[in-house]
């Protein structure tokens, strides 16, 4: 069986509750609140549905990873399933061991986006109810993002309204494409209308590449975190930028993980090539201005000081949030990275918690 980077990192983490520190506590640092904003959970019904789906001959680039996770009992897969399902003791113990004050929880990718529309709508509601219950049990430790079924846009808009106004959640999670369709298609406008009206930021999380781009990634197992996730989600972000979406919804906020899925490093060239084209849609701002005004990025899975330094300069520290990507990434590594990086304390506080409090409307303390 091929193992991607997440598998290797995950297998290296603690496999039992006795190892909640995940290879040791993070390094001490000036006291400050730490909010990790891309932290996954699952519900049993989702994992059971993924197990059934990946037992079929479905041709989808997400199938190999989720077939491995749901059909095999290895140290990695059993740990991942256990930690995804746990919203109490082990998760909070690992948070405590690493100085994490709060996790912003979201249903693990691909969410409900591989299921039939009716099944997806019902499971999204169930997941959001379970999430709200977990937050009620631990209101100082958890916030959460709403799961929606983009394959049913009108129902997705209703669930955003329910999640924001009745469940008290903090934004929306969408796992990139849904049945190979991207959010710049007109059919998905109800999702943006609801999010914009309710000031609900949308976190676009990776999944494996859509059918039209997946094949070249598969030969060397590149469809997952090593390359495919970022390439696919970065494409999605650029499609939204050049579609004119932000001229229609100027206050809409999109969040991208993994230091912006590569987009910050390409902004100069995207501006240049967009301006040189006579055929692309004219925008009210340049693509880089849209990215700085309407996007935020997180550090999830990218514990690299050089990348953080570039993004601080390119986007400003007020557009960056800290994340671990639990349980797929190593908690001590992510915390030690941000504890030790050479960033002024005022900026570090913004990245660790201040920006998340503002963008996701999380209560300050």
Per-residue pLDDT of the chain (365 residues; tens, 9 = 90+): 344 434 433 433 333 333 434 444 554 456 899 999 999 999 999 999 999 999 999 999 999 999 999 999 999 999 999 999 999 999 999 999 999 999 999 999 999 999 999 999 999 999 999 999 999 999 999 999 999 999 999 999 999 999 999 999 999 999 999 999 999 999 999 999 999 999 999 999 999 999 999 999 999 999 999 999 999 999 999 999 999 999 999 999 999 999 999 999 999 999 999 999 999 999 999 999 999 999 999 999 999 999 999 999 999 999 999 999 999 999 999 999 999 999 999 999 999 999 999 999 999 97
Determine the pLDDT at residue 7. 41
Secondary structure (3-state) at 138: coil
Tell me which residue of 198, 188, 123 sits closest to 168, measured CA to CA.
198
3-state DSSP of 189-257: HHHHHHHHHCCCCEEECCCCCCHHHHHHHHCCCCCCCCCHHHHHHHHHHHHHHHCCHHHHCCCCCEEEC
Determine the pLDDT at residue 200. 98
Q: In what order do the strands lie in the sheet with 254-256?
A: 146-147, 172-174, 202-204, 254-256, 295-298, 320-321
Determine the pLDDT at residue 1. 37
Determine the pLDDT at residue 37. 98
Determine the pLDDT at residue 31. 86
Name the fold adopted by 5-18+34-359: TIM Barrel (3.20.20)
d(C-alpha 25, C-alpha 222), whole Å: 32
CA 201 vs CA 204, 207, 272, 347: distances in Å? 10, 19, 28, 22
d(C-alpha 173, C-alpha 238), whole Å: 18
Domain boundaries, the chain: 5-18+34-359
d(C-alpha 131, C-alpha 170), whole Å: 11
Determine the pLDDT at residue 6. 40
Number of H helices and E strands in the chain, helices first, is 17, 9
Residues in contact with 328: Cβ distance below 8 Å, sequence separation at least 6, in sequence order = 6, 9, 10, 40, 80, 225, 301
């Amino acid at each position: 069986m091929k193992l991607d980077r997440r598998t290797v990192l995950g297998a290296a983490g603690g496999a039992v509750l006795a190892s909640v520190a995940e290879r040791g506590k993070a390094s001490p640092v000036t006291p400050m609140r730490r909010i990790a904003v891309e932290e996954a959970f699952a519900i049993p019904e989702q994992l059971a549905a993924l197990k059934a789906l990946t037992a079929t001959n479905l041709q989808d680039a997400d199938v190999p990873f989720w077939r491995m996770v749901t059909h095999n009992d290895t140290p990695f897969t059993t740990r991942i399933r256990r930690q995804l399902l746990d919203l109490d003791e082990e998760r909070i113990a690992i948070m405590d061991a690493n100085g994490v004050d709060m996790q912003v929880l979201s249903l693990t990718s691909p969410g409900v986006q591989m299921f039939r529309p009716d099944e997806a709508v019902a499971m999204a509601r169930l997941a959001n109810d379970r999430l709200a219950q977990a937050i009620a049990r631990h209101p100082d430790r958890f916030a959460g993002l709403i799961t929606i079924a983009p394959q049913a846009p009108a129902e997705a808009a209703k669930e955003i309204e329910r999640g924001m106004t009745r469940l008290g959640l903090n934004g929306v999670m969408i796992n990139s494409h849904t049945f190979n369709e991207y959010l710049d298609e007109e059919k998905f406008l109800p999702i943006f209308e609801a999010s914009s009206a309710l000031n609900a930021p949308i976190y676009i999380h990776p999944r494996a590449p859509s059918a039209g781009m997946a094949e070249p990634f598969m030969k060397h197992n590149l469809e997952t975190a090593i390359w495919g996730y970022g390439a696919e989600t970065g494409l999605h972000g650029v499609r939204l930028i050049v579609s004119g979406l932000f001229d229609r919804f100027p206050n809409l906020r999109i969040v991208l993980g993994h230091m912006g899925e590569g987009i910050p490093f390409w902004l100069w060239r995207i501006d240049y090539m967009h301006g040189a084209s006579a055929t692309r849609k004219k925008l009210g701002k340049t693509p880089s201005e849209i990215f700085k005004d309407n996007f935020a990025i997180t550090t999830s899975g990218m514990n690299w000081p050089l990348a953080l330094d570039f993004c601080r300069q390119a986007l400003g520290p007020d557009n960056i949030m800290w994340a671990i990507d639990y349980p797929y990434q190593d908690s001590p590594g992510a915390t030690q990275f941000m504890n030790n990086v050479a960033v002024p304390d005022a900026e570090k506080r913004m990245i660790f918690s201040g920006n998340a409090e503002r963008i996701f409307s999380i209560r300050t303390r």
